[in-house]
Structure 1
Amino acid sequence: MAINVEATGMLDIHQILKKLPHRYPFLLVDRVLDVDPQAKTLRALKNVTVNEPFFVGHFPQRPVMPGVLMLEALAQASALLSIETEGISLDDDTVFYFVGIDGARFKRPVEPGDQLVLHAALDRVRAGIYKFNCKATVGTDIACEASLMCTMRKVK
């Protein structure tokens, strides 16, 4: 049964796959929990499991999710926010790219079994550059926070 995002504020994995070009092992958003079009905010979920391919080498004796992948998960959540609130559609020849990261801070390790809640808020759009204020939390703890800048580009 399809979920109506306008009615529920949620997107399941099947709807996310239709909107983002990322695929395993690089799709890092499992579900969109809610979208607020007026506030231009989104909350999404990444379930962190021991089967993630990066845990094999980071670190075998104490697996920790790499910070750069937390930032990538936040960027994917930000792209979904833009798609849902700005009327953006990523077709086969359009990609949402990172163009900058400011103030990235890592405050808590993320380990297998954690649920990483991704918070994205659109700050502004200027000259085709989207700026988002983002944070990733586990429970009530902030794991990562940053300001991300992204833009869209044709790839063909």
Structure 2
Amino acid sequence: MTAELKSADIQLIQRILPHRYPFLLVDKVVDIDGYNAARGIKNITMNEPHFQGHFPGTPIMPGVTIVEAMAQTAGVMLGVAFDVVDTNLLIYFMSIDKCKFRRKVIPGDVMEMQVTTLRGKPRGKIFKFNGVATVEGEVAAEAEFSAFVDWEPEA
């Protein structure tokens, strides 16, 4: 028997992650399977500030923000898995490897980020993840990334 998958709406996401507009890059996280895997969802809209300059007349979501959205998905997954809500959880990038961009992400797209834990243990400090961002089933970006998790940061 498998455990029931969990999800996080925007209110719960904001209770887990410290990110806020304009840098909160995930709208919902679903299919949270403990700290093993999760799927984030980001609705791409023209009113996001990076589209003013990237690129005028041809708005394309910057690759670094796609990778950041995958990382935020992983952060929410950890927050839900370990019930770390309202605790000032901080997660810092340590590395980004095997990063590839395959298609443009533009306003009107719905980007899904599938994140899987490659290494890490419950309440450990260092985790490694694989992330794949897709739009309509087509791979937009993929990367492996590691992060340092500060479970109890100073206030």
Report the TM range for the smaller structure's normalisation: 0.7 to 0.9
**Equivalent runs, 1:121-140 vs 2, <5 Å:** 121-125=116-120, 128-140=125-137
Contact 2:15/2:85 (<8 A) preserved:
no
1:62 is aligned to 58
* Aligned counterparts of 2:57 and 2:50: Cα–Cα separation in 1: 13
Match of 1:97 among 92, 98, 118: 92
Unaligned runs of 5+ in 1: 1-5
Contact map agreement 2:38 2:73 (CA 8 A) in 1: yes
RMSD: 2.0
Tell me what 2:143 maps to: 146
2:71 corresponds in structure 1 to 75
How many residue pairs get matched?
A: 149
Contact 1:95 1:155 in 2 (8 A): no
Task: Confirm or deny that 1:118 pairs with 2:117.
Answer: no
User: Distance in 2 between the 1:83 and 1:16 partners?
Assistant: 9
Q: What is the TM-score of this pair, normalised by structure 1?
A: 0.87
Stretches of structure 2 lacking an aligned partner (at least 5 in a row): none
Give the conservation status (yes or no) of the 8 Å contact 1:77–1:120.
yes
Q: Using the alignment, how far apart are the partners of 2:65 and 2:31 within structure 1?
A: 22
Shift, 1:125, TM fit: 1.4
Q: Does 2:49 match 1:46?
A: no
Amino acid of the residue matched to residue 28 of structure 2?
R
Q: Does the 8 Å contact 2:16/2:84 carry over to 1?
A: no
Q: Distance in 2 between matches of 1:152 and 1:43?
A: 20
What SS does structure 2 have at the residue aligned with 1:108? coil
CA distance in 2, matches of 1:87, 1:33: 15
Percent identity (aligned): 40
**Retained in 1: the 8 A contact 2:111–2:135?**
yes
Shift, 1:89, TM fit = 5.2
What letter is aligned with 2:103?
A: R
Show the counterpart of 1:13: 10
Is the alpha carbon distance of 1:32 and 1:141 closer, same or farther for their aligned partners in structure 2, counting shifts above 3 Å? same
